[in-house]
Amino acid sequence: MGWVRFAPSPTGLLHVGNARAALLNALYARRYGAQFLLRIDDTDRARSDAAFVEALKADLTWMGLSWERLVFQSERLERYAQAAECLRATGRLYPCYETPEELALQRKTLQTQGKPPIYNRRALALSEDERRALESQGRPAHWRFRLHENPVCWNDGIYGKKVFEGAYASDPVLIRADGVPVYTLASVVDDWELGITQVIRGADHLANTAVQLQILEALDPKAPSALSWAHYPLFRMRSGEELSKRTGSMSLQSLREEGIHPLALCSFLAKLGTSEALAPHASLEDLAAGFALSNMSLAEAQFDPDDLRRLNRHLWPILPVASVASDIPPSDFPFSADFWKAIRGNIETLQDVGYWQRVCYGLLPPGADEEPAFREACLLCTQRAPEAIGEVSAWQAFVQDLSQKTGRKGRALFHPLRLLLTGRDTGPELWVLVALMGRERMLQRLAR
């Protein structure tokens, strides 16, 4: 069956880039019968916040995503320490004592010489006495993983065959000087021990994959063969804006407040960076049925919020009333299948639902009154109309009566009438709205 995982850090609100990672993993799980693991990468206790954990869970639930298992890295620190001890025992993890300033100078010197800024492994030459002397000076060790220089190869699910030359990489730090394991080690141990079989993540992790494969092999020679990898190209905002969890840039919370439907966002993110046309989907099952990693393009995608808003508008007509009723803001007004059928073609965001509820069942601000004679004619004709004015034949009789009384036809007749009844110059067919609001409410609106 297999497992996929989404591993956010709770340091801010989820933005659309995070949401894309979660969605692609969830669609893969639905398409191929895998299970979905939510892993909270909270080893950085200074920046992690429990409030953001609850916020990201709420965001994922809003998107319609669920998980079979929830894991916190902060509860697995002992496992990372045990894995580090295994790597020390085999000589692959070694202590280093350089300060950040010394490392920065070393990198600058190498770059000046036209060489890649690779760590020189000077710490490997230290004797036990030299190490003790450095520690007595108050220099705690940080621990690096010694890479082997043999090429690392894997078949990426999107990029195809990838080859990584270990000779051109710097030994990564796996344990910081404060004893906290870094992402590289913790993620490897989790994937290995929690049974992850498919990693789907952004292309910014391609270089990490080669390092993580070496760590996996050092821990368990059989482990790399149990894991598949797929890296999708990242996208950039059309505006050039940088996505940030800390600033809330393009957060799911802000999109929800704007009235974007979760299925519009999921439809958009699932097709972003593929050769498929943007189109709304009425369910995650429908999206998953056509999901394939092979559909991903290697070109950088572009995220345009206006495209998302257009897709949001096109989604409403295909949504059944039951799926919308649970998403609309609480209201004292009715929400029925007939009401939804009438207005769904004129919705841009969920906030518009409330407006049309007020049109059909509530009060509106007084309309423009530049032509009191036209208002009076509408009021008189409505008073003469039957109770069931919303029926087609009764509405046609009312319109004919109004046309004869005012001498107006076409737009000259319907445009001011629509403004009087709805407060807007566009919208659903008037006779359908009048059927919902009823003759008495129509009279009240005209008589104001």
| Residue 120 maps to a domain | no
CA-to-CA distance for 342 and 317, rounded, in angstroms?
A: 10
Identify the pLDDT of residue 245.
59
Q: Is residue 102 part of a domain?
A: no
Q: Which domain holds residue 210?
A: 1-90+150-169+178-319
Residue 201 has which token pair? Answer: 């993540």
CA torsion 182-188-192-198 (nearest 10°) is 130
Same domain, 281 and 390: no
In this structure, are 233 and 274 located in the same domain?
yes
**Mean pLDDT, to the nearest integer, of 80-94?**
96
pTM above 0.75, yes or no: yes
Beta strands in 269-380 (DSSP E): 301-303
pLDDT digits (tens, 9 = 90+) for 317-347: 998 888 888 878 788 899 999 999 999 999 8
- Give the pLDDT score at 168: 78
> Is residue 372 included in any domain, yes or no?
yes
Same domain, 278 and 236: yes
Please tell me the distance from the alpha carbon of residue 171 to that of residue 173, in angstroms, as a whole number. Answer: 7
Domain CATH for 29: 3.40.50.620
Please, which pLDDT band fits residue 433 given cuts at 50, 70 and 90?
A: very high
**Number of folded domains that form the chain:** 2
Crossing angle of helices 430-447 and 392-406, in 10° steps, is 50
Last residue of a domain, one of 284, 319, 354: 319
Pair 182, 309 in one domain: yes
The alpha-helical segments, DSSP class H, found in 179-230 are 183-193, 206-219
Q: Is residue 95 part of a domain?
A: no
Q: Is the pLDDT of residue 106 over 80?
A: yes
The answer to whether residue 442 is domain-embedded is: yes
Average pLDDT over residues 92-120: 89
Residue 440 inside a domain? The answer is: yes
358-384 pLDDT, tens digit each: 999 988 766 655 578 898 999 999 999
Q: Kindly list the distances between the CA atom of residue 398 and the CA atoms of 386, 413, 417, 422, in Å, as whole numbers in the listed order.
A: 9, 12, 12, 17
pLDDT at 191 over 60: yes
